[in-house]
Amino acid sequence: MRKVTKYQEQLSQVNSLDSFAFSHSDKDRRIISCLQCFRPQEMLPNHLSRVCMKDQTNEERNAEVDRAKKSMKAWTLRGRTWDYNVMVKRYPDEASRRALLEDLRERHFLILNDPMEAQAESNHSENSAAVKTHNKKTAQPALQDCQRVLRVSQADMLDIHGKLLDQQHVEEDQRTLFRYFCEAILVLRYFQRPDAVRAFKASDWLNKRSVDGQIHIKVQSAKHTATFSLTEEDSDILDAYFQKIRPGCLQDSAEDQGRFFLSKQGLPVINVTSDLRRLHEQYDLPSFSSQQVKRAQSTMPCSSSDEPSDERRVRKQKRGRGAADQYDRDFGAFLLKFPVTTSSSPPTKKKRTAAGFPSDKVFYNRWRSLQFAKREEYLSSQCSRRPPTVSKVSLLIEKEGWTGNCPRPEDIVAKWRPITEVQVESDPWIITAIQKQKWTGLALKDFGSKGQGVVATKAFAMGSIVCDYHGKAAGRDLCVDAETFPCECHPTENTMGRMINHSSKRANLRSVHCMMNFPEGKRDVILFRAKRDINLCEELLFDYTTSSANLFEGKH
Ligand SMILES: C[S@@+](CC[C@H](N)C(=O)[O-])C[C@H]1O[C@@H](n2cnc3c(N)ncnc32)[C@H](O)[C@@H]1O
């Protein structure tokens, strides 16, 4: 039972008034709350005559409508404003008060003496006196103003983040909003230019390096080179987009160009500035140009793209203090603190409470169910084309050392389904993908000593066609000319299939020969097919030595 329950009734009344204040259509402007039943009504006179005052006279009802209108006006003028100092006196229990404050903020109430704002102000004021004078002259917003949207939307975004990690359904518009938020993080907190954010590629993300708790990213394209270092917290947010939202945008028919930020149609995001404006609009905040942000950054003596800003520190402090008392969205923060992996142990009560989370088992249980799902996914992915046996799954579990919180081998066996063979030779999408070399869900990653390799940026089901080994396939042995590189038909491209590394033990692809029906006639092609389910971020590998076709007429 949450501590805030006692306020919920109060808030629901407040909430009903909120719809009046924030509605923009003419129809909604007429909404007035009935003071008899405390419910908002589109047509109060009708409602009174039919429901709440059906036995009274017309005059009495008209007087009641006037009273309700006055009450609504008074509420609009004064009732939306809450004074934190008064709240402190009325609600001495800090946990409940903070939960109430969160709710009020979410519902766009105006909070006087808001401690969060005050703290941000005081942190900011140390070094901003000179800046303020300058800003007054030029109407240049302070950095804190430019970054406000990150703070205001944070609770919503943590909520979405938690749902994404929790495998819960997230509405399309919320997914898009989350993408805007990720773009905003890069522009507003790490001061990246919108065109650099647009040029940001999935492979840049895969090649990120973690050093001393900072995640270093290098964005490299023909026009842009940018480097920045994310905090782990921000990196987790972007990773949730990369792993949970982006794969759903990838479409075989759309040319994503390997970009990191994609529209829901799977196309590269064109205008990052517009996305930021939409995020600001969502929170009724004025937006700022990236030049204003840059200027605001340069006038902050202590700000740096590598360090959290003052505002960010406040945000962190706030989360640390209030986390134990907040709603479900804090599960997102819980997961950031205690990431779920197949091998990690659930946080003990001591650790949970030390980190400011509730001591009860609610988050603990949700954490365990997430781990259960991950373990189930892992076990299923380890099963080959043939149905697994109970003993094979038991061995896998034993090898991982899992003594509890994992599926029964019998359940993994029961869930296994054969993948039906796909008739690929006339598949128009595969034909186009070969011709244009536009395979989706693949990105290059640097693997150090073995050079570059190819990584899956979406999950591939067992049996699916991943890409082709591009080149001239000819002759009885189906040799592909591996020396002519780049190939004649794509002289400027580094075709993906040729970048796949070798593994005899961990191969997840097998090569298959197909006679593809191209418009100009049939042609031999070597395709790579997933040997098993391939997870997002997994390196694609095939066994160079047991390939069904001899790919090595020329040496690599
Ligand atoms: C088809 S290319 C793969 C792309 C290559 N890694 C690159 O960066 O261009 C094959 C070459 O990659 C390297 N390679 C592939 N698999 C490897 C492995 N498992 N270990 C080390 N090097 C590997 C070898 O140099 C091989 O000749």
Cα–Cα dist 229/508, whole Å: 32
**For ligand 1, is residue 445 a contact (CB within 6 Å)?**
no
Distance 73 CA to ligand 1 centre (A): 72
CB atoms within 10 A of CB 166: 19
Rounded to the nearest integer, the mean pLDDT of the chain is: 77
Hey, which of 484, 501, 552 would you mutate to test ligand 1's pocket, going by the most ligand atoms within 8 Å of its Cβ? 501
Q: What is the CATH number of domain 428-546?
A: 2.170.270.10
Percent of the chain with pLDDT over 90: 27
What stretches of 139-182 adopt beta strand conformation (E)?
Answer: none
Shortest CA distance to 17 belongs to which of 6, 36, 32, 4?
32
Cα–Cα dist 255/234, whole Å: 27
- Ligand 1 atom 25: the closest Cα is on which residue? 450
Residues in the chain: 556
Whether 118-325 shares its CATH topology with 428-546 is answered no
Between the alpha carbon of residue 454 and those of residues 187, 207, 235, the distances in Å are 29, 11, 22
Roughly how many angstroms between the first and final C-alpha of the chain, as a whole number?
64
**Over the stretch 216-263, which tens digit does the pLDDT of each residue have?**
998 887 777 888 889 888 999 999 999 999 999 998 777 899 999 999
Mean pLDDT of 489-510: 86
Q: Is 118-325 assigned to CATH 1.10.443? A: yes
- Ligand 1 atom 15: the closest Cα is on which residue? 501
pLDDT at 326 over 60: no
Between the alpha carbon of residue 288 and those of residues 128, 146, 183, 256, the distances in Å are 19, 6, 14, 28
pLDDT at 26 over 50: no
Looking at the predicted complex, does its ipTM rise above 0.90? yes
Nearest atom in ligand 1 to 453's CA: 6
What is the SS3 assignment for 422? coil
Label residue 296 by pLDDT band (50, 70, 90): confident
**For ligand 1, is residue 501 a contact (CB within 6 Å)?**
yes
Mean pLDDT of 464-493: 65
pLDDT at 451 over 80: yes
Both tokens assigned to 234: 């921000």
**Residue 414: how many CA atoms within 13 Å on its side-chain side?**
5
**Over the stretch 146-205, which tens digit does the pLDDT of each residue have?**
888 998 898 889 889 989 988 888 999 999 999 999 999 999 998 898 999 999 999 999
Cα–Cα dist 223/238, whole Å: 23
Label residue 106 by pLDDT band (50, 70, 90): low
> CB within 8 A of 7, min separation 6: which ones?
96, 99, 100, 103
Nearest atom in ligand 1 to 503's CA: 19
**Over the stretch 207-225, which tens digit does the pLDDT of each residue have?**
999 887 788 998 887 777 8
pLDDT at 291 over 70: yes
Cα–Cα dist 127/555, whole Å: 62
Lowest mean pLDDT among 127-136, 167-176, 407-416, 435-444: 127-136
What is the pLDDT at residue 426?
77
Cα–Cα dist 442/536, whole Å: 10
What is the pLDDT at residue 206?
94
pLDDT at 448 over 90: yes
Give 430 or 301, the one with higher predicted confidence.
430
Nearest atom in ligand 1 to 447's CA: 6
**Over the stretch 367-416, which tens digit does the pLDDT of each residue have?**
888 888 888 878 876 654 456 788 889 999 999 999 889 989 998 888 76
pLDDT at 142 over 60: yes
**Residues 37, 51 contacting (CB under 8 angstroms):** yes
**For ligand 1, is residue 470 a contact (CB within 6 Å)?**
no
- Ligand 1 atom 27: the closest Cα is on which residue? 556
What is the pLDDT at residue 542?
92
Nearest atom in ligand 1 to 451's CA: 8
**Residue 168: how many CA atoms within 13 Å on its side-chain side?**
14
Distance 497 CA to ligand 1 centre (A): 12
Nearest atom in ligand 1 to 556's CA: 27
Shortest CA distance to 376 belongs to which of 408, 423, 422?
408
Hey, which of 450, 469, 494, 542 would you mutate to test ligand 1's pocket, going by the most ligand atoms within 8 Å of its Cβ? 450
- Ligand 1 atom 4: the closest Cα is on which residue? 499
Lowest mean pLDDT among 87-101, 479-493, 514-528: 479-493
Distance 218 CA to ligand 1 centre (A): 23
What stretches of 25-142 adopt beta strand conformation (E)?
Answer: 32-33, 40-41, 81-83, 110-112
What is the SS3 assignment for 110? strand
**For ligand 1, is residue 361 a contact (CB within 6 Å)?**
no
**For ligand 1, is residue 451 a contact (CB within 6 Å)?**
yes
Domain boundaries, the chain: 5-114, 118-325, 338-415, 428-546
